[in-house]
Amino acid sequence: MNSHKVTLEISETLFEQLSLLADLKEESIEYLAIQIIAAKLPCLIQKESQLNQLLAAIKPDSIHSEIGLET
């Protein structure tokens, strides 16, 4: 499996939270960041896809009828 390196700039607060979790779990910050991203990504992709489908279904005529501005 190929891998890619990503450099992220995060807030001090987020880094401190990630560091605390890493200490509690005795894992590296990098490992935890990858695990968190991997766990959330499928759900985010699905939600974005569903939103795009809903937005694509909106037509000017349906918007006007929904708000009572029949054309």
Break the chain down into helix, strand, coil percent, rounded to 5.
Answer: 70, 0, 30
Q: Is residue 34 part of a domain?
A: yes
pLDDT of residue 1: 84
Q: Is residue 39 part of a domain?
A: yes
Q: Is residue 4 part of a domain?
A: no
Q: Is residue 7 part of a domain?
A: no
Instruction: Say how many domains are in the chain.
Output: 1
Amino acid code (one letter) for 33 = A
Q: Is residue 24 part of a domain?
A: yes
Structure tokens at 34: 């990858």
Tens of each residue's pLDDT in the chain, 71 residues:
899 999 999 999 999 999 999 999 999 999 999 999 999 999 999 999 999 998 888 887 777 666 666 55
Q: Is residue 6 part of a domain?
A: no
Distances (CA, A) of 8 to 32, 39, 43, 60: 14, 18, 21, 40
Q: Is residue 3 part of a domain?
A: no
Overall pTM > 0.75: no
46 lies in which domain range? 12-66
Q: Is residue 54 part of a domain?
A: yes
